[in-house]
Amino acid sequence: MIAANDGVLLRNHIPRILKNHFRGKPYYVDLLDLFNEVEFQTASGQMIDLITTIQGEKDLSKYTLSLHRRIVQYKTAYYSFYLPVACALLMAGEDIEKHTDVKHIGTDIEDFKCSWLVVKALEICNGEQKKLLEENYGKPDPENVAKVKALYHEINLQGVFAEYESKSYEKLTTSIEAHPSKAVQAVLKSFLGKIYKRQK
């Protein structure tokens, strides 16, 4: 119960801090709306991740790039990238509406996470490799985890990701450079530079 109460206290600090520092600013209401929206989107992403991981039988066939993108978009992207940029744009007097138009495996294998790695592996694997993946993915035993990692190495997922990362970087750079504001370009390129070829 103490932990739950601590969570409520922490959650309520956000509007109090915003009120303390920005109450007299013309963008104050928009700032409150922004934080509320990002909190909702992040919680939605967390829910998708959790129900995908723990509900029902373990079934890799439901893991797709589309599902993975949804989890990343809602669980991570909103508070990691959208929120700080949107805050800066609001404070600079910009209308944020017009701007809205994997190196680290961690415990994804043991936790049966819908990661980019497993989704891509399912696309690449032959029948035998897919069977091995289905038999070992989502099991906490180090031997099972080692088999999955060995399979990732066998199908050269690192190389596949490097190619995907490079193409994504080029696509994003082209998109950023098409934006009419040089200031916005500089901010977005700074963010892109921090995540491109990032070692976690």
Strand spans (E) along 18-90: none
Which band of pLDDT confidence, cut at 50, 70 and 90, is reported for residue 101?
A: very low
Distances (CA, A) of 102 to 58, 108, 147: 22, 11, 19
What's the whole-model pTM score? 0.55
Q: If DSSP codes are grouped into helix, strand and coil, which group holds residue 192?
A: helix
How far apart (Å, rounded) are the C-alpha atoms in residues 48 and 72?
10
Q: Which of 10-19, 31-40, 68-77 has the lowest mean pLDDT?
A: 68-77
Contact, 78 vs 42, CB < 8 A?
yes
Contacts of 196 (CB under 8 A, 6+ apart): 165, 169
Q: Which DSSP state fits 62? A: G
How far apart (Å, rounded) are the C-alpha atoms in residues 90 and 88?
5
Distances (CA, A) of 87 to 29, 45, 72: 12, 21, 20
For position 50, what pLDDT does the model report? 77
For position 194, what pLDDT does the model report? 67
104-139 residue pLDDT tens: 556 788 888 888 889 999 999 999 999 999 999 988
For the chain, give every domain's residue range. 1-101
Contact, 63 vs 112, CB < 8 A?
no
Percent of the chain with pLDDT over 90: 20
Question: What length is written for the chain?
Answer: 200
For position 98, what pLDDT does the model report? 40
Residue type, 140: P
